[in-house]
Structure 1
Amino acid sequence: MIVGFLVFWSLPVPLASSRGATNLPFLSIIIPARNEESRIVPLLRSLQEQRFTSFEILVVDDDSSDKTAAVAESFGAKVLQNEGAGKSSACWYGTEQAKGSWLLFLDADTKFESPEGLNKLLQFYQEKGARGITALQPFHTVERLYEHLSVIFNIIVVTGMNLFTIWGSRFKTAGSFGPCILCNRDDYFLSGGHKKIEGAIMDDLALGEAFLEQNLPVRCLGGKGIISLRMYPEGIGSLIEGWCKSFAVGSKSTHPVVMFMVILWISGSFIAASALVSSLIGWNPAAILLSGILYVLYAIQTGWFAGRVGDFKKAIFIVYPIWFAFFIGIYLYSFIRVNVFRSVSWKGRKIKV
């Protein structure tokens, strides 16, 4: 439990001064989209509500078979038909057509939480010198019970970036968060952008690495109160496919010390649960009391961590071992797919790794 606090000490969000932003440049918002006709609507609606309005919206249609393009056009977005395949290709193509001095890459399933959200993000970037990347991990909103299966993944995605331990920025960042990436046009092309990393499974981590190679800063923060997303509303199959696609590959970028602490924390969750079961079977009152206290503390800690990354219902942590077990199962499945079969599936495409 102590290791858990050390590895996930904090998750800061962008804080800008109260004086307000001045002279913000024209912004190009680039949204790669493949079969997103239903999920993209909240994002486009939230963009219409923003107080900051000096931007263009470029939706890059990545060979969708649904009405993604028509929906985007109905909200006033400019739709581009990508001739390549995949998210990185779509982002690069969108950037080539963009007019803005700053570039904001958004996943189609994100949305801004308030009319001030975009302005807060841009003001923060300006006050930090408007260089490199500022990336937010959106706050995960949950509507259906099966979506809680993502809870441990969300925690590990954040801790695996190496930046949120008690030691702050002592460890090099694993890269960039992917759903919300803000940068300026000059730095993007200097780094090589998505063209350089085309074919990477974890495009967000690879893009962050490309910026770091040019000694450009990469800032990763939480998006609570600014931007949110709902993950895999299509069903549990999509959830499994999505996490399988990214996790075994992404974990390779986590610093060994951070990875060791994460492993200890996960192991402790099972040890606490096993100790309680064992003491109940042996009916040892003292052991039941001690292991019961430890189990409750682990449930509280996990729920507290989860509250930083999403609006997961607190009651689910009564049975927290279920969520850890699901995480371990999908991680092992992902590891086999990546290292044995050398391929993963996502949105109807088989991706070689």
Structure 2
Amino acid sequence: MLISVVVPAYNEGAFLRQTLGKIHHAIEANEREGMQWEIIVCDNNSTDDTAVIAQDSGATVVFEPVNQISRARNAGAAAANGEWLLFIDADSYPTPALMADALDVIEAGQFVGCGTTVEVVGGTLFNKLRMERMNPFFRLFNWSGGPFLLVQRDAFQAIGGFSHDLFAYEEVDLVIRLKRYGRSQQKKFTVLWKNPVITSGRKGEIGALSLGRLFVSNFLAVILFILHYLLPKAAVRWLGSRLLGYWYNQRL
């Protein structure tokens, strides 16, 4: 069985080498008979050495010119050959124990995918608490964010991948559709929590301007997520591309 790890990356030269090294380590610690891996990095129109670092680290590199994480993930998935797609953010990485849990999900044969809770390293205490506060909700409502998201390829293709209409909460939208599809196939989606994915706390500095942008961007993201069920998709896409720059100034 081939598993494709897809890493979207926009100007991630500072983080990508560590991320890919950690992914390789988690894979090597979980060698199982019949399991094969490939790592695909989608360079999302970077202006730094993201693509060079990815190539030097042994990853296959594809290019997506439009700066949007949904498009980057979809472009990486389109180049993948695996029966399972494992999306990992460029500033996040799995521990060997988390990778083992993900392989158990695959081998169980009962799931269309899984997400995970998060452990934030680096950055401010405020940002750690802000991001990790979502973990109980991930477990309670059985949905997750995007730093680590495992999806069966057939299911991913059946639901059309990540929405190009959303510039934030695109992973929530995907999980909602994935769970609906899974029910039609008598399969489940689950959230792993014993071994969270490690993710960077680099955003969310404590300062009037940064806090203001953070809260406004989160508010707008929620509003646009709701509106994408109500308004024409083109309108939501246009608004998202202009209002949600907070997530796209440093990273995808």
TM-score range, shorter chain: 0.7 to 0.9
Residues 1:210 and 2:177 aligned together: yes
Question: Aligned residue for 1:221?
Answer: 192
SS at match of 2:55: helix
How far the C-alpha of 1:136 sits from its partner, in A, is 1.0
Give TM-score, length-normalised by structure 1.
0.55
Question: Aligned residue for 1:245?
Answer: 217
More helix per residue: 1
Question: Aligned residue for 1:260?
Answer: none
Q: Tell me if structure 2 keeps the 8 A contact 1:36–1:108.
A: yes
Q: Tell me if structure 1 keeps the 8 A contact 2:159–2:181.
A: yes
CA distance in 2, matches of 1:253, 1:348: 20
How far the C-alpha of 1:104 sits from its partner, in A, is 0.2
CA distance in 1, matches of 2:202, 2:53: 19
CA distance in 1, matches of 2:98, 2:67: 31
Question: Aligned residue for 2:233?
Answer: none
Question: Aligned residue for 1:148?
Answer: 125
How far the C-alpha of 1:55 sits from its partner, in A, is 0.7
Q: Tell me if structure 1 keeps the 8 A contact 2:87–2:149.
A: yes
Contiguous gaps of at least 5 residues in structure 1: 1-24, 165-171, 255-338
> What amino acid is the match of 1:198?
H
- CA deviations on 1:295-345 (whole Å, 9 max, x unpaired) are xxxxxxxxxxxxxxxxxxxxxxxxxxxxxxxxxxxxxxxxxxxx9xx8232
CA distance in 1, matches of 2:70, 2:225: 19
The alignment of Structure 1 onto Structure 2 pairs a total of residues equal to 222
Query: Which of 118, 136, 152 is the matching residue for 1:138?
Result: 118
Question: Aligned residue for 2:20?
Answer: 44
More strand per residue: 2
Residues 1:123 and 2:104 aligned together: yes
Over the aligned positions, Cα root-mean-square deviation in angstroms equals 3.1
Question: Aligned residue for 2:245?
Answer: 345
SS at match of 2:67: coil
- Shift of the 43–244 alpha-carbon distance from structure 1 to 2, 3 Å rule, reads farther
Contiguous gaps of at least 5 residues in structure 2: 227-238
Query: Which of 174, 177, 191 is the matching residue for 2:145?
Result: 177
CA distance in 2, matches of 1:64, 1:223: 34
SS at match of 1:136: strand
- Shift of the 120–63 alpha-carbon distance from structure 1 to 2, 3 Å rule, reads same
How far the C-alpha of 1:41 sits from its partner, in A, is 1.8
CA distance in 1, matches of 2:223, 2:172: 10
Residues 1:158 and 2:128 aligned together: no
SS at match of 2:87: strand
How far the C-alpha of 1:199 sits from its partner, in A, is 2.2
CA distance in 1, matches of 2:180, 2:204: 37
> What amino acid is the match of 1:188?
F
Question: Aligned residue for 1:315?
Answer: none
Residues 1:198 and 2:164 aligned together: yes
Give TM-score, length-normalised by structure 2.
0.76
Q: Tell me if structure 1 keeps the 8 A contact 2:43–2:51.
A: yes
CA distance in 1, matches of 2:179, 2:114: 12
- Shift of the 27–81 alpha-carbon distance from structure 1 to 2, 3 Å rule, reads same
> What amino acid is the match of 1:118?
M
Residues 1:64 and 2:46 aligned together: yes
> What amino acid is the match of 1:210?
R
